[in-house]
Structure 1
Amino acid sequence: MSQIKNPVLPGFNSDPSFIRVNDTYYLATSTFEWFPGVRIHASKDLIHWNLVKNVLDTTTLLDMKGNPSSGGIWAPDLSYADGKFWLIFTDVKITDGAFKDMTNYLTTAPTIEGPWSDPITVNGVGFDASLFHDQNGRKYLVQQTWDHREYHHPFNGITLTEFDVATMQLKPETATTIWNGDEVKLVEGPHLYQINGYYYLFAAEGGTIFTHQEVVARSKSLGELSFEPEPDAPFITNFDTPKTYLQKQGHGALVTTPGGEYYYASLSARPWHHQNESSTDPRGWSTLGRETSIQKVTWDQEGWPRIVGGHGGQTLVDAPKDAIETVAPKTHSQHDEFENSMLDINWNTLRVPFSQHMGRAGHGKLELIGRGSLANPFDLSLIARRWQAFYFDAETKVKFDPYSYQSMAGLTNYYNHSNWSWIFITKNDDGKRVVEVAENKGGLRNGMYTSYLKDQAPIIPDGTEYVWFKTEVRKQSYTYLYSFDGSDWNETGVQLDAAVLSDDYVVQEYGGFFTGAFVGLAAVDYSGYQSTAEFESFDYLELGDEITADGSFTFDKPTNS
């Protein structure tokens, strides 16, 4: 039998909303401050997946300028009813402190490709909202409820509010709390299903760290606090399975196959450790972010859902008996020569779409106009793609004549405004073009900046038009190299800790952060003189993570690295 190999969506693809329409399965995942918003992957076998759409791809649908890091799109909900797709999404504007200012929106489309309608404002009661289409024809918004009052727990249960299709608005007077969660608290990510005469509520708890879990409750009605919890909970968690390959499983959604089998898609993570660290404390560093995995579900004699293999989940999962083979790339490697004005679907920008303000692409080059620093949440010229493997090389070719040391352009590994590094062209105090490597990490605000090469920064020879940059990522660490001819590579001698680019590192310093590491191209000119960089190519080459017969993965350094 064919098997699903987890994670099915490697690299930052979290909070999956999981549906089936006829013979096609769809996964919609969170994108937070990265633009476009809401990635949708499709499959017919649950094994092989293709990225088919980034839904929120215009400022009419989504404008996040100035959003905080890890704000933006939280836990979108994709559903299909009445002959069309429905997408509920949340734009979070405040991530720290007592408040979570947010707006929930609704957009619809006749097909997954669109066109998607202008968004309708739904409410701001809480995040992780989903739309439930009752078999009796009524619709309800199901959502986490936020409470800013310091003498209450901020996660104030799961609220159900009827949605009026005639007006396309909620009916606030119908709002009721249907579930308060259990003593683990932090109840969020709700989805409702009707199965065998019951309403089943799936909800996440414990926060999206190593204490994360998913619980299930059920009721014969949608009355206030009418849901009873599943015995022997939780439904899925890795809190008590610290040595399993997948960790942090929880928040997700349920789907049924045409043949009546059930599967559950949830976020997950694959932490690793430094050699001098315990395998359980800290539990590890998840540089690929929160990914999507799929587990098979059975039902016990009392009608409760159970994860096949136990609530810790499995790396290898039997695929559906009626799976239809799906063709998809074997790796996520990418080669881009920027022949088209539209960026490749794998590229992302921060908060706003790629525009002429940032630069332009086409005819074999990408031009990026130097704007704000990599710490700037308002005005930044950067395009980036996810890390999707523990071992990869990324390379680019760039032409740049900086105005001064305030002008920089090059190749970056980036987590958020506070945690990033890059290799770049700039000018030294003697007016010479040089290669520098810098890192920014930690801190409650914008972190600490370190220049690694300083007075020893290599001078770019006069007459050199292009400089090649490369990063080699090797799970626990990564480094940067440069070349003046594209053939002979020079090491910088700078080896950086990859853990800095993980949720687990950032959460030690402040708040909850939810994305993952990216690699990309950037141009900075905070002098305001708009020095422009020209990138001629980009390559992202995955070097392979091989699965073994027992269902675990090996991460030995590839022989071709």
Structure 2
Amino acid sequence: MIRNPILPGFNPDPSICRVGDDYYIATSTFEWFPGVQIHHSRDLANWRLVARPLNRALQLDMRGAPDSCGVWAPDLSHDGERFWLIYTDVKRYGRTTVGGASGASLRDFHNYLVTCEQVDGDWSDPVALNSSGFDPALFHDEDGRKYLINQLWDHRPGQSRFAGIVLQEYSHAGQRLIGERVNIFPGTPLGLTEAPHLYKRNGWYHLLVAEGGTGWNHAVTMARSRNLHGPYELHPHAQILSSRTRPDAPLQRAGHADLVETPDGQTFMAYLCGRPLPNRGRCILGRETAIQPVIWEDDWLYTEDRVGMPVLEAPALPIPASPPRETEARYDFDGAELPRDLQWLRTPEPDRIFSLAARPGHLRLHGRETIGSLFTQALVARRQQDFCYSASCAMEFAPEHFQQAAGLVAYYNGSKFHYLHVSHDETIGRHVRVMSALPDSPQADAFTAPIAIPDGRIELRVEVDFERLRFAFRLGAGDWTWLPEQFDASILSDEATQPGLPNFTGAFVGMACQDMAGTGRPADFDWFAYRERAYRADPTRD
């Protein structure tokens, strides 16, 4: 069975394509490097991460990009010869103050194209396409011509920022857009029209877009036309998938969809969704990817229940199953490359922030900028993919003063995290404590009392059960020392924020190191482990 979400934990904006019997989904990575995640499956139920194609500076450099900017909404397609990947690199989301009022009218969206014959190969240098809006996609028409479509951004006062969907032809020979751009779809009254995809079926051009924003009002809207440039006739139901009228649905925020057809002609829709916490209503796992079968009637698309609801389960393809997702991982850092589950922030120069060769069998993080830096911070982490999990690491770190710190962090962005770290000061010496960045509290930064510890190796541990987070540490093989405080894990979500700031990613857990004196004091991590588990009423009782 397909059990949704198929890509749990911060895998939004899915773009799906099929090559023979193989299916691929590309999802957004925002400020996390390398850019774009591509998963592979043969049964549509079980998926494996196979590539992060944007992995060098010429393709992607996000240093200075604000939180939740960077890579938005990749579009993955295949024309029978090669893969085509279109993506947006967002440089400015915009939160300015003019005359005492906040606004976000001016934004920078740069759209690029890369190609590769193998999905896990060396992708090409990027071709700059345009900067007129975000969520670009490439449509391959039956006559071999190609067209770029994207959301059009309008910064002018009194205008809708989401000004419709524009289409323009792309010349592969010239590696540029040609002809005039045409606004083919203005959207519906639901508004916030974005994430376009085009398909050709039975002589109809079918346009799929997302509307309603990426929160609780999210939806998939459909329209069609006999002519590529329109006009486009709206679907009889307008929105063909949404949870916005069903607050009781387990999958919320459903929208931003893409279609794929199996060899026998069955159609599936991949889309993003969110799973709210039962008690707090916040989606600490971020925006995830789900998939379900859909049906065609009179050349219109419908969900199987005809009411447009996302489903938790659906039949998988009747072929040998792909391997299921691993729910437990331990990283011993014995190889020459960072394990694929792990990512870092923004910089295309990883040698500046970590090394697997400086001390064999260890991940060395070089102390760099603050944990909220938009440029060069040494933070290596993996996605939180479960409501309840355990994570831990073993670290050696000898700080000399209070500007040096390293440890284990549960992280959403620079303004939302809980950080169990080791540091040093002139009064207490080497110590461990927690720093929390709180987005919905008058106290932006909060610290627990420092606990003095001797020199030497230390193990750090975090336990998360829905909205509850607890930290512990131990030295040697002794018992765990649990910090008395209980922390709010629900702040690691899109919903916990201040107005006007972008929040589109998800929670991570990992390792970090800072040297705010600029001397690069390193921390060595022997291993890092993550394990999905059942709920525990008291995680301190193993």
TM-score, normalising length from structure 2?
Answer: 0.95
Q: Is 1:221 aligned to residue 227 of structure 2?
A: yes
Q: Is 1:181 aligned to residue 172 of structure 2?
A: no
Q: CA deviation at 1:510?
A: 3.1
Match of 1:458 in 2: 451
Q: 1:260 aligns with which of 251, 256, 265?
A: 265
User: Does structure 1 retain, via aligned residues, the 8 Å contact 2:116–2:124?
Assistant: yes
Q: Deviations over 1:170-216 (max 9, x none)?
A: 01x32101101100110000000011110000000011000000000
Match of 2:10 in 1: 12
Q: 1:307 aligns with which of 297, 303, 309?
A: 303
Letter in 2 for 1:192: L
Q: 1:190 aligns with which of 190, 196, 201?
A: 196
Kindly report the root-mean-square deviation, in angstroms, between the aligned alpha carbons of the 2 structures: 1.7
User: Does structure 2 retain, via aligned residues, the 8 Å contact 1:360–1:367?
Assistant: yes
Match of 2:238 in 1: 233
Point out the more displaced range, 261-270 or 525-534: 525-534
Q: Is 1:290 aligned to residue 296 of structure 2?
A: no
Q: CA deviation at 1:223?
A: 2.3
Q: CA deviation at 1:557?
A: 5.3
Q: Deviations over 1:22-54 (max 9, x none)?
A: 000000000000001000000000011000001
Taking structure 1 as reference, are residues 557 and 87 closer, same or farther at Cα in structure 2, changes over 3 Å only? farther
User: Does structure 2 retain, via aligned residues, the 8 Å contact 1:358–1:371?
Assistant: yes
Letter in 2 for 1:502: S
Query: Which segments of structure 1 move beyond 3 Å, counting only runs of 4 or more?
Result: 555-561
SS in 2 for 1:356: helix
Q: 2:415 aligns with which of 412, 418, 426?
A: 418
Match of 1:342 in 2: 337
Letter in 1 for 2:407: G
Match of 1:539 in 2: 529
User: Does structure 2 retain, via aligned residues, the 8 Å contact 1:468–1:486?
Assistant: no
Q: CA deviation at 1:438?
A: 1.1
User: Does structure 1 retain, via aligned residues, the 8 Å contact 2:16–2:24?
Assistant: yes
Taking structure 1 as reference, are residues 272 and 329 closer, same or farther at Cα in structure 2, changes over 3 Å only? closer
Q: Distance in 1 between matches of 2:501 and 2:529?
A: 34
User: Does structure 1 retain, via aligned residues, the 8 Å contact 2:347–2:376?
Assistant: no
Q: Distance in 2 between matches of 1:357 and 1:272?
A: 37
The 5-angstrom pairing of residues 18-33 of structure 1 reads: 18-33=16-31
- Count how many residue pairs are aligned between Structure 1 and Structure 2: 529
Q: Distance in 1 between matches of 2:47 and 2:513?
A: 33
Match of 2:98 in 1: none
Q: CA deviation at 1:17?
A: 0.2
User: Does structure 2 retain, via aligned residues, the 8 Å contact 1:85–1:112?
Assistant: yes
User: Does structure 2 retain, via aligned residues, the 8 Å contact 1:273–1:476?
Assistant: no
SS in 2 for 1:493: coil
Q: 1:119 aligns with which of 119, 126, 134?
A: 126
Q: Distance in 2 between matches of 1:557 and 1:342?
A: 38
What percentage of residue pairs aligned between the two structures are identical? 38
User: Does structure 2 retain, via aligned residues, the 8 Å contact 1:442–1:509?
Assistant: no
User: Does structure 2 retain, via aligned residues, the 8 Å contact 1:188–1:203?
Assistant: yes
Match of 1:388 in 2: 385
Match of 2:505 in 1: 515
Match of 1:493 in 2: 484
Q: Is 1:100 aligned to residue 97 of structure 2?
A: no
Q: 2:210 aligns with which of 186, 204, 209?
A: 204
Q: Deviations over 1:141-177 (max 9, x none)?
A: 0110000112101001000001112201101x32101
User: Does structure 2 retain, via aligned residues, the 8 Å contact 1:359–1:368?
Assistant: yes
Q: Deviations over 1:75-111 (max 9, x none)?
A: 0000001400000011000112212202100000011
Q: CA deviation at 1:330?
A: 4.0
User: Does structure 1 retain, via aligned residues, the 8 Å contact 2:473–2:482?
Assistant: yes
Q: Deviations over 1:281-318 (max 9, x none)?
A: xxx10000000000110112x22101123312110112
Q: CA deviation at 1:558?
A: 9.5
Q: Distance in 2 between matches of 1:287 and 1:201?
A: 31
Q: CA deviation at 1:380?
A: 0.5
SS in 1 for 2:368: coil
User: Which consecutive unaligned segments of at least 5 residues does structure 2 have?
Assistant: 95-103
User: Which consecutive unaligned segments of at least 5 residues does structure 1 have?
Assistant: 278-283, 545-554
Q: CA deviation at 1:328?
A: 3.5
